Amino acid sequence: MYTIDRIEENIAVITDESENRTYVPKDIIDGNVRENAVVTKNGSRWEIDEENTEKRKAEIKTRLERLFKRG
């Protein structure tokens, strides 16, 4: 799974599960380019995976809620 870690000017910093970084111009990413979005590579382009982005967002929210309930 690849995610957009951050955006620096017109470059998206994409990380994989091993924290390897790839620097990709925003204009070769299709969709709503934003931090923490899940992306997939399709040939020479990248695409935002909205479904998996929303799933990941919900998982993170659940984890944070559990963490703060413990404290």
71 residues of the chain, pLDDT tens digit each? 999 999 999 999 999 999 999 999 999 999 999 999 999 999 999 999 999 999 999 999 999 999 998 75
* Domain boundary assignment for the chain: 2-70
Distance of alpha carbon 17 from its chain centroid, rounded?
Answer: 11
Model pTM?
0.87
- How long, in residues, is the chain? 71
Residue 71: per-residue pLDDT: 58
Please tell me the predicted confidence (pLDDT) of residue 4. 98
User: Structurally, what CATH architecture does the domain formed by 2-70 represent?
Assistant: Beta Barrel (2.40)
- pLDDT number for residue 70: 73
Residue 1 one-letter amino acid: M
Tokens of 36: 């923490």
The torsion region of residue 43 among left (phi > 0), alpha (psi -120 to 50) and beta comes to left
From CA 34, how far away is CA 44, in angstroms rounded? Answer: 19
